[in-house]
Structure 1
Amino acid sequence: MSRTTHRTRRHDLGDFLRRRRESLTPAAAGLPGGGRRRTPGLRRDEVAVLANMSAVYYERLEQGRGPQPSATMLSSLARALQLNDDERGHLYRLAGQAAPPAPEPAGYVDPSLLAVLQAAAATAPGFISDELGTVVAQNSLNIALFGEFAGRPGWQANLIWLWFTSAEWRRTLEPESQHEQTGRAYVADLRAITGGRDHDPRAAALVADLRAASADFAGLWDRHEVSVLHCATKRVEHREAGRLDLDCSVTLSPLSRQRMLLLHPVPGTGTDERLARLAATLSGPVAALRR
């Protein structure tokens, strides 16, 4: 980053903090509103108290003279100024950092991904997972092929956990010749994800538990390979439908960071017909299940 760009960002950071401070009333911040005020918003010293930092430090940030704030300081400022998710992300970017993802409510399923998952349910097995790989919704064809695991306790709904702790799951998902490639892809993707989730206890716990449970995972993790997940063609042997050759696509929601994975029949393999026969045997409406 050039010196000019750095100065511009420091100025913009200070300006953003000042304008958010001036827009937040004492009542909204839970502070007494008595006394004469030159503006209806908070004073600098009040923001400093709310953010658990010195008034001098905060003043220097607003004036574009302060040091680059740490992720902890930015989190405190976002909380003190009651920033929404968009404002919070903007604050981190102005400070030259990536904003950690906002926590999602328990059981949350991205509605835009869910609509597509349901629409494709008759022809394409699919599921939705959070960024760490924990499945939050499946459609009926996916359950018919792989079992119902959305909503399982602990890490039992997490795809990476299942891959490295269940040989039966690996055999169900794809041929053994692809296992090494898939394992490396899972770990490299998790490296990329956790790199953008500083101070996230859930991400740290998943990595720690996987290292303890799987020597294979620990060895791959120590390679420090980083790559966004790419989904390869899969071959599934199903006891009723027979052999299914499936292409894979991954869609990432820019709003929730949840992912939808859909499996599409490979043309010319007869998989589309076998999937259609399997779908016809499913009772009830084709729908997605929520955790």
Structure 2
Amino acid sequence: MDQRERRELGDFLRSRRERITPADVGLPAGPRRRTPGLRREEVAQLAFISAEYYARLEQARAPHPSREVLAQLTRALRLTDAERDHLLRLAGAPPETPSGPSREVRPSIVDLLRRMPDAAAVVLSATYEVLAWNDLAAALLEDFSALPRRDRNLVRRAYLGPHQGGRRLYGLSDADEFARTAARQLRAAAARYPDDAEVSGLVAELLAGSAEFTRIWASHDVADRPAFCGTFAHPLVGPVPVRGDVLDLTDRDQRVLVYSAAPGSPSAEALRLLSVIGTQSMGVPG
């Protein structure tokens, strides 16, 4: 980068820093705050970089930042997709065309999940990997934070298990339809990402381990909407009928699945109870 480009980058970082309040990122405001928004050292802390290096970036005195540092700054400063792309271009690292499904969930979407205490919500990748979830989803389905990444994939779980108590996919009444739709969507994802090793590896694993998946895969059918609603058989609160809604995040090739119940219904009361119980002492079926 030349000096002009460094100044542009520094000015942009400073403008984004000054628009964020400490409360936006869970930091105390503290006394005698003389600068609008966050302090430089607070941004550095959130981005896991040194305060000195971040200060030099804003002052147009730092060397070319790596893509890893730029990704950390994107998260710390809560940049939109357009702002992230602008930051990359200012730093001389233009956005790359993704070769595989995105696993990066926008901070605003994570915040949205947290602001839905009465609904269970998860974010799925194009290959049905659970990328983000709220507390009620963990209580209704499973505590995904306790699982390794590979075990958070719902297509793998639907076809390869575990199926505790003989019940498929958390005891969902429409689990078979979900499995069929997921296989057809995975075929479409495999066509979008033909060179991605994780996608091809997942397909190969399912073909080797499930005759049912192999039959569906051989039909060459594709689908564009997930089917994940019905009644969950929960080990603590019993049957929980839910409504399923889908929000498409087309720019990331992700989906938000939201499970809710009619206000005042027994299901709503069951979800309310689950929100109180949380994931403590739960043997949630797989």
- Aligned equivalent of 1:282: 278
- Aligned equivalent of 1:139: 134
Structure 2: distance between partners of 1:102 and 1:83: 17
Is structure 2 residue 150 aligned with structure 1 residue 155?
Answer: yes
Q: Residues 49-91 of structure 1, C-alpha deviation per residue, up to 9 Å, x if partnerless?
A: xxxxxxxxxxxxxxxxxxxxxxxxxxxxxxxx96424xx5xxx
Matching of residues 1-291 of structure 1 within 5 Å: 83-85=94-96, 88=97, 100-101=98-99, 104=102, 108-120=104-116, 122-150=117-145, 152-153=147-148, 155-166=150-161, 167-168=163-164, 170=168, 172-175=170-173, 178-266=174-262, 269-282=265-278
Native 8 Å contact 1:134 1:157 kept in 2: yes
Structure 2: distance between partners of 1:279 and 1:197: 37
Q: Which runs of 5+ in 2 are unaligned?
A: 6-91, 281-286
Structure 1: distance between partners of 2:94 and 2:153: 31
Q: Residues 75-115 of structure 1, C-alpha deviation per residue, up to 9 Å, x if partnerless?
A: xxxxxx96424xx5xxxxxxxxxxx55665xx733223212
Letter in 2 for 1:170: R
- The offset of 1:266, in angstroms, is 4.2
Q: Rg larger in 1 or in 2?
A: 1
- The offset of 1:218, in angstroms, is 1.1
Q: Does the C-alpha gap of structure 1 residues 206 and 134 become closer, same or farther in structure 2, counting only changes over 3 Å?
A: same
TM-score by length of 2: 0.58
- The offset of 1:211, in angstroms, is 0.8
Native 8 Å contact 1:136 1:150 kept in 2: no
Q: Residues 123-179 of structure 1, C-alpha deviation per residue, up to 9 Å, x if partnerless?
A: 11121222211112221111112222247335211000000011336152412xx34
Native 8 Å contact 1:234 1:245 kept in 2: yes
Structure 2: distance between partners of 1:103 and 1:237: 31
Structure 2: distance between partners of 1:209 and 1:283: 30
Structure 2: distance between partners of 1:274 and 1:103: 35
Q: Does the C-alpha gap of structure 1 residues 208 and 263 become closer, same or farther in structure 2, counting only changes over 3 Å?
A: same
Structure 1: distance between partners of 2:94 and 2:177: 42
Q: Does the C-alpha gap of structure 1 residues 160 and 103 become closer, same or farther in structure 2, counting only changes over 3 Å?
A: closer
- Aligned equivalent of 2:24: none
Native 8 Å contact 2:100 2:196 kept in 1: no
Q: Residues 254-289 of structure 1, C-alpha deviation per residue, up to 9 Å, x if partnerless?
A: 3322322110114674211221122123399xxxxx
Structure 1: distance between partners of 2:135 and 2:148: 20
Number of residue pairs the alignment of both structures matches: 189
Q: Does the C-alpha gap of structure 1 residues 246 and 231 become closer, same or farther in structure 2, counting only changes over 3 Å?
A: same
- The offset of 1:252, in angstroms, is 2.2
- Aligned equivalent of 1:58: none
The alignment partner of 2:213 has SS state of helix
Q: Does the C-alpha gap of structure 1 residues 283 and 197 become closer, same or farther in structure 2, counting only changes over 3 Å?
A: closer
Q: Does the C-alpha gap of structure 1 residues 102 and 83 become closer, same or farther in structure 2, counting only changes over 3 Å?
A: farther
The alignment partner of 1:164 has SS state of helix
- When the two chains are superposed, the root-mean-square deviation of aligned CA atoms in Å is 2.9
% same residue? 24
Q: Does the C-alpha gap of structure 1 residues 281 and 272 become closer, same or farther in structure 2, counting only changes over 3 Å?
A: same
Q: Residues 2-51 of structure 1, C-alpha deviation per residue, up to 9 Å, x if partnerless?
A: xxxxxxxxxxxxxxxxxxxxxx99xx9xxxxxxxxxxxxxxxxxxxxxxx
TM-score by length of 1: 0.57
